């Protein structure tokens, strides 16, 4: 059942890049526009191409580095004015300067510095262009299993030209690490401007300098864990970083043993996501726990107050089977076709109304991917790897029912898994995991479970649409185990010879989160439907947003107007980052994507 969803009103996202062949242009087709809409291209006020209908990119062989460009759509044969102009980049990336914060010293006299870490995007000022919300990671950030003090977690907002809008300091009572601060950036109240939502504590300083709670309180114990004191949930205004409302954080801490231990390891494992629980407007879902107990609390923000919608607790009667099923990540999609989103919480799914939809019982895992991986089947599939050795260590199941479609066994923790269409000879996506090369179980699998190669890509971190065909490329890093340095890269799988071919090595960049090899963010940020990737510079004094300059005749609306993909970008920074996927199969021999049924803030339904 389709419902009309509130979505971002984006601008054309036009970019122009100097290449050896000329100036490459790329722009958005918006979700409400007809696939057949044509475009005219203007250079320095003069029309240089009329009524383009293949692709939403163009190579101007006569362009120069000083040119400026516009694209104008033709609707009903009439050219519509567009005042958005693009100057020419001299490289295939946009450099966004950062205000790197100074380091500090912990109570046990350990010095730390900061590096740019996970990021998200939202239109916080309503101009149709994304801003970047960046988390700064202190060099002494910790996994929950490790003791020690950390520096404060900081959140910054930047415009794409590097304008620094504000900084939020979450304070000494929020510990730094991948599992602690899950921040959401989204327009929750439908005013056309995104808010920021995250867990806060006594001593958090908002973007205007105002303090939340009691700034004098320090709840850190001698091991650096924060196991006492109040916990808050705060909504911040996007444009200013001002705290708009702060309430008690739910799910609350309670007894540590209910989450698996009293040491601070499992009680402070957090997840978060955005979901259209009513099918029309976005809600906030904050989550705690997954090894044992799991609790999810859903809220609506409608401009003045947080209103709780429901709470799901795996300790409640009839929910016992949902304990221990969570992942180090979360996904969101309408899996049952009722128009409302479900939360894919690892090996279980929570329905839009806060009740359990099903659990596979296969337990915790690190990596999960949700999309249409088998296009001949109705609906979506969930591909997942699992930590506990079993006959189903790597598996794919039906997203609506949990029915196991096929699996391969594992003999140890399967820490990585990937689903992407990288071989056009087989239907849908190809699937592989780290079990294949660690345990010798073997290679690469088709979407239907056929083992198609003993060789699989030794790349498991992210997948990205980059070049001009419909196959997906692999986003990873060159990682040095001794130095801990990872340099961003994009590779293509040569399916005929069973090897990776490098397309881009982003020299001067660094990946995030150790062997995870994450970029700061991967998303369709501007230009046509293909994706951009943000890596930090080696000194964290800038972000680099890389984009493709390959021409393509394929034309799709921006992926950011696909509900599943846009929500994937919203939860991408959560815990163990995962690559985004759309809610339809995008790959070789694909069908025409479904048109999104959407409306923009302060406008009526704009669906064609």
Name the residue among 199, 197, 200, 296 with its Cα closest to residue 251: 296
- The Cα–Cα gap between 266 and 257 comes to 9
Q: Give the chain's radius of gyration (CA, Å).
A: 23
- The Cα–Cα gap between 241 and 194 comes to 11
Most confident range, picked from 68-82, 250-264, 412-426, 429-443: 412-426
- CA angle at 62 for the pair 61 and 64, rounded to the nearest 5°: 110
pTM of structure = 0.97
Indicate if the pLDDT at residue 437 is higher than 60: no
For CA atoms 506, 512, 517, 518, the dihedral sign is: negative
Q: Is the CB of residue 343 less than 8 Å from the CB of residue 276?
A: no
Q: Is the CB of residue 282 less than 8 Å from the CB of residue 308?
A: no
- Convert the pLDDT of each residue in 334-355 to its tens digit: 999 999 999 999 999 999 999 9
Based on DSSP, count helices (H) and strands (E) in the chain, helices before strands: 2, 47
Tokens of 163: 């304008």
Residue by residue, DSSP assigns 564-594 as: HHHHHHHHTTSSS------SS--STTPPPPP
Contact residues for 269 (Cβ-Cβ < 8 A; gap 6+): 144, 179, 259, 288, 289, 290, 291, 575
- Convert the pLDDT of each residue in 27-63 to its tens digit: 999 999 998 899 999 999 999 999 999 999 999 999 9
| pLDDT score recorded for residue 262 | 84
Strand 473-480 and strand 485-494: pairing? Answer: antiparallel
567: helix, strand or coil? helix
Mean pLDDT of 121-136: 98
DSSP category for residue 178? T
- Convert the pLDDT of each residue in 389-398 to its tens digit: 999 999 999 9
Mean pLDDT of 599-608: 70
| pLDDT score recorded for residue 436 | 54
Name the residue among 588, 587, 569 with its Cα closest to residue 579: 569
571: helix, strand or coil? helix
| pLDDT score recorded for residue 439 | 52
Mean pLDDT of 324-331: 96
Mean pLDDT, the chain, rounded, equals 95
**Residue 563, phi then psi, degrees to nearest 5:** -55, -45
- The Cα–Cα gap between 419 and 384 comes to 9
Indicate if the pLDDT at residue 300 is higher than 80: yes
What region, left, alpha or beta, does residue 464 occupy, with left being phi > 0 and alpha being psi -120 to 50 degrees? beta
> Which one has a higher pLDDT value, 441 or 398?
398
DSSP category for residue 226? B
3-class secondary structure per residue, 336-355: CCCCCCEEECCCEEECCCCC
Mean pLDDT of 452-474: 95
- The Cα–Cα gap between 321 and 346 comes to 13
Indicate if the pLDDT at residue 606 is higher than 80: no
Indicate if the pLDDT at residue 371 is higher than 60: yes
| pLDDT score recorded for residue 440 | 56
**Residue 435, phi then psi, degrees to nearest 5:** -55, -35
């Amino acid at each position: 059942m389709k419902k009309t969803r509130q979505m971002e009103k984006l601008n054309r996202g036009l970019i122009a890049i100097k290449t050896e062949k000329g100036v490459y242009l790329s722009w958005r087709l918006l979700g409400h526009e007809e696939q057949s809409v044509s475009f005219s291209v203007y250079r320095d006020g003069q029309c240089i191409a009329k009524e383009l209908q293949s692709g939403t990119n163009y190579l101007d062989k006569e362009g120069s580095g000083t040119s400026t460009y516009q694209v104008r759509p033709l609707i009903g044969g009439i050219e519509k004015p567009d005042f958005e102009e693009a100057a020419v980049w001299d490289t295939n990336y946009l450099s966004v300067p950062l205000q790197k914060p100074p380091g500090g010293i912990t109570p046990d006299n350990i010095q730390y510095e900061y590096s740019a870490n996970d990021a998200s995007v939202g239109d916080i000022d309503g101009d149709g262009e994304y801003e970047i919300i960046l988390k700064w990671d202190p060099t002494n950030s910790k996994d929950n299993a490790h003791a020690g003090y950390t520096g404060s977690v900081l959140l910054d907002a930047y415009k794409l030209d590097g304008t620094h809008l504000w900084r939020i300091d979450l304070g000494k009572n929020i510990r730094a690490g991948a599992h602690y601060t899950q921040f959401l950036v989204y327009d929750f109240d439908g005013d056309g401007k995104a808010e920021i939502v995250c867990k806060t504590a006594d001593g958090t300083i908002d973007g205007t300098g105002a303090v939340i709670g009691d700034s004098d309180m320090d709840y850190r114990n001698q091991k650096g864990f924060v196991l006492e004191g109040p916990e808050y949930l705060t909504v911040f205004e996007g444009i200013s970083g001002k705290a708009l409302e702060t309430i008690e954080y739910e799910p609350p801490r309670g007894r540590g043993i209910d989450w698996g231990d009293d040491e601070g390891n499992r009680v402070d494992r957090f997840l978060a996501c955005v979901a259209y629980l009513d099918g029309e407007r976005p809600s906030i879902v904050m989550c705690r726990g997954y090894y044992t107990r799991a609790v999810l609390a859903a809220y609506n923000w409608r401009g003045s107050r947080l209103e709780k919608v429901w709470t799901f607790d795996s300790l409640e009667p009839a929910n016992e089977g949902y304990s221990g099923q969570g992942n180090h990540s979360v996904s969101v999609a309408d899996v049952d076709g009722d128009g409302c989103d479900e939360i894919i919480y690892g090996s279980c799914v929570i329905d839009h109304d806060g009740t359990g939809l099903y659990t596979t019982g296969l337990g915790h895992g690190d990596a999960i991917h949700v999309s249409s991986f088998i296009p001949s089947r109705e609906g979506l599939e969930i591909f997942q790897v699992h930590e506990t050795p079993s006959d189903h260590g790597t598996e794919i199941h039906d997203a609506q029912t949990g029915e196991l479609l096929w699996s391969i066994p594992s003999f140890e923790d399967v820490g990585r898994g990937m689903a992407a269409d990288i071989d056009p000879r087989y239907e849908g996506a190809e699937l592989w995991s780290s079990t294949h090369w660690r345990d010798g179980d073997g290679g690469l699998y088709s979407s239907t479970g056929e083992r198609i190669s003993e060789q699989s890509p030794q790349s498991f971190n992210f997948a990205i649409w980059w070049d001009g065909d419909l196959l997906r490329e692999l986003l990873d890093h060159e990682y040095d185990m001794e130095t801990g340095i990872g340099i961003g890269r994009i590779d293509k799988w040569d399916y005929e010879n069973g090897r990776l071919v490098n397309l881009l090595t982003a020299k001067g960049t660094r990946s995030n989160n150790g062997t995870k090899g994450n970029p700061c963010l991967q998303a369709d940020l501007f230009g046509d439907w293909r994706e951009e990737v943000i890596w930090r510079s080696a000194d964290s004094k800038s972000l680099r947003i890389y984009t493709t300059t390959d021409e393509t005749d394929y034309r799709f609306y921006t992926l950011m107007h696909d509900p599943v993909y846009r929500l994937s970008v919203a939860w991408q920074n959560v815990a163990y980052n995962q690559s985004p996927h759309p809610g339809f199969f995008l790959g070789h021999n694909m069908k025409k994507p479904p048109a999104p049924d959407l409306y923009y803030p302060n406008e009526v339904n704009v669906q064609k």
